[in-house]
Amino acid sequence: MRAVIRGFGELLITLGVIILLFCGYQVFWTSLQAKSAMNRENSQLREQWEGGAGGLKAFSPGQGFAIIHIPRLGADYEKPILEGTSLDILDKGVGHYEETAMPGEVGNFSLAGHRLTHGEPFRHLDKLRKGDYVVIETADFWYTYRITTNPYIVLPSDTEVIAPVPNRPGKKPTKAMITLTTCHPWYSSEKRMILHGVLVSKLKRSDGPPPALQS
């Protein structure tokens, strides 16, 4: 009996080690891989833009088309934005909800990003507050949005947060807005953390970064 108990205990220890290794892989290794991939995507986008590929148009799922900057999260914070929000796309960067507005357009430019694992681009989204800025860099323009809400929590079924006018489905938009979404709490997808903002400036990319990225 003691041998059985000892063997069972060793099995539990082994399983615990395997689980810890898997968690480490999910949290750290996938993030290292994803961050490297995001940096490559940013570089490729800028090379394309410098080569003359520009202008907003329809994008295929998984295609990168912009870079998001959030000064509150660091001067070096910049993540690629890809079309679509499927898990395989979110593993490579920030995803754009298809059928929502594009950068600078009247409506609700809505984005999703992982809070943990796979580069965790929205890991610290809870640090943003009213008045903070989010800058979207595209081939031709810099779009600066000012955050107008503090982070708040909803259920995944509350899809009205990405309506053309957030939380007012059916209402016609008159402003260019942005919505950022991520999972809440950490280690769970039970709920969603949401922030909204409004467009405050549009500058030519050739003129250099906007004031929000210079201060």
Domains of the chain and CATH, by start: 2-214 (2.40.260.10)
Confidence bin at 188 (pLDDT 50/70/90): confident
Residue 88: other Cβ atoms inside 10 A: 11
pLDDT in tens, 26-80: 555 455 566 777 888 889 999 999 887 766 677 999 999 999 999 999 999 999 9
**H-helix or E-strand containing 151?**
none
Considering the entire predicted model, what is its pTM?
0.84
Instruction: Taking the CA atoms of 93, 96, 97 and 99 in sequence, report the sign of the dihedral they define.
Output: negative
Of 118-122, 168-172, 200-204, minimum mean pLDDT range: 118-122
Give me the pLDDT at residue 57, please: 72
At 174 the pLDDT is: 98
Question: Given the structure tokens 């990168």, which residue do they identify?
Answer: 64
Catalytic residue list? 114, 183
Res 189: pLDDT? 83
The pLDDT assigned to 34 comes to 61
Cα distance between residue 134 and residue 146, in whole Å: 6
Q: How confident is the model at residue 19 (pLDDT cuts 50, 70, 90)?
A: very low
Q: Does the pLDDT of residue 11 top 60, yes or no?
A: no
Provide the token pair at 181: 């979404």
